[in-house]
Amino acid sequence: MSTDGQGTKHWFDDEAGPVVRPYAMTRGRTSSPGQHRLDLIAVVVAEPDAGDPEDDHTLSPEHVDIVGMCRVAPQSVAELAAELDLPIGVVRVLIGDLVAKKFVHVNRPVPPAELPDESILRDVITGLRAL
């Protein structure tokens, strides 16, 4: 908070301009309906048939920015947070909102426990070479 010469208090940083608290962007929410925990490397992809997010007046400018970035190229949750300069928690809530409204979908990475065992892959390669 800063003050001007007359002692009036302002809620902004002189260099950064007005400051919006992260919880204000999510309306105090820490999760979205139907949102599962989004991994940092989960990839967010814009839905090709989705309309213009600017026409939905319930979406914030940050929502619109996320859809725009994902229309250019799929983005990971971490990349979106870095590009928007927002905390990961906020970006996860915003992505959850967009998934619920069908503007984007999320491709989650395969958990290591579900990946095939390395020894099985070696056996397959050996078998293919034997053919």
pLDDT at 78 exceeding the cut of 90 = yes
**Mean pLDDT, rounded, of the chain:** 79
Q: Which two tokens stand for residue 7?
A: 């002692």
Count, residues in the chain: 131
Amino acid of residue 47: E
Q: What is the CA radius of gyration of the chain?
A: 21
Whole-number pLDDT of residue 121: 82
Mean pLDDT for the stretch of residues 33-49 = 80
pLDDT at 2 exceeding the cut of 60 = no
Name the percent of the chain lying above pLDDT 90: 26
Residue 1 confidence class, pLDDT cut points 50, 70, 90: very low
Q: What are phi and psi of 21, to 5 degrees?
A: -70, 140
Nearest-angstrom CA–CA distance, 108 and 77: 10
Give residue-wise pLDDT tens across range 54-63.
888 888 888 9
Whole-number pLDDT of residue 47: 92
User: Looking at per-residue confidence, does 22 or 119 come out higher?
Assistant: 119
What H or E segment, with its residue span, contains residue 107? strand 104-107
- Stated pTM of the model: 0.65
Residue 80 confidence class, pLDDT cut points 50, 70, 90: very high
User: Looking at per-residue confidence, does 123 or 17 come out higher?
Assistant: 123
pLDDT at 112 exceeding the cut of 90 = no
